[in-house]
Amino acid sequence: MSDQQDIAPAAQKPSRPWTRSLVEIIAAFLVVMAAKGALAEPFYVPSGSMEPTLLIGDALLASKYPYGYSAASLPVNVALPATGRVFGALPDRGDVVVFRWPGDTSQVWVKRVVGLPGDRVQMREGRLWINGEPVAMRPDGRGEAEDESGGVTPAARFAETLPGGREHILFKLKEHGFLDNTREVTVPPDRLFVMGDNRDNSADSRVSVADGGVGLLPVENLVGRVDAIVGSWDLGIKSQPVWTWLSGFRIARSFSSVH
């Protein structure tokens, strides 16, 4: 008599229909897209126009709910008829905002709001004026503006305080910049005046869309408010050997707030 016992084969799990797996994948994708469309979405900074607040290589998290929703809020660029904003609200002066560039809505840009509807905005000798009054500005030492290749340019730092008390740091690369003097503009309804913190290296509301700038930004083009930097990598390290690239991560900037 054999001492071996017969072992019954394990019961096989019924295979899941491929259609059910596909539905689950689609559902997960839609949940992610809905969250990106309604709550927040990550963006990447490719230029130095917002230095020193934002650096080239910063990864941003833009909250979408503060200003409501429009076609610009969608995580993909879709051409829809102008419908205004749902649950719309205006930014505060000093907010750093992400928006779809009026010249090509597939491009997403980031600037700081300095002028709201009804404001009179002008640059005089490198100083911002709002509603006939100069905006408070004081020297804040020196810094370095970085370009896309990792090169740096000496820059004067200034602390600017907008009406309402919001203070931020800006760069001035030149004593007499090309955009240091502009005509006074009254911001129309449903428009915003936005500027880069790197004042001599920013195509913003001081420059028309036809000339490559933002012009007066339609509120409908707003995507969201930049609240945090979630990560950052110095693109200048790309010119170094590959094994040094990890040193390009700016750990101190990760999960820092934006002012």
Q: Which residues are part of the catalytic machinery?
A: 49, 111
Is there a contact between 197 and 187 (Cβ–Cβ < 8 Å)?
no
Is there a contact between 94 and 166 (Cβ–Cβ < 8 Å)?
yes
Please give the Cα distance from 52 to 47 (Å, whole number). Answer: 11
Among residues 109, 111, 127, 130, the alpha carbon closest in space to that of 119 is found at 130
Helix (H) or strand (E) holding 143: strand 136-146
Burial of 47 (0-12, 13-18, 19+ CB in 10 A): middle
Please give the Cα distance from 203 to 213 (Å, whole number). Answer: 4
Is there a contact between 54 and 60 (Cβ–Cβ < 8 Å)?
yes
Please give the Cα distance from 44 to 108 (Å, whole number). Answer: 9
Please give the Cα distance from 167 to 223 (Å, whole number). Answer: 23
Please give the Cα distance from 117 to 123 (Å, whole number). Answer: 17
Is there a contact between 85 and 35 (Cβ–Cβ < 8 Å)?
no
Among residues 140, 142, 113, 115, the alpha carbon closest in space to that of 130 is found at 115
Among residues 67, 94, 43, 100, the alpha carbon closest in space to that of 218 is found at 100
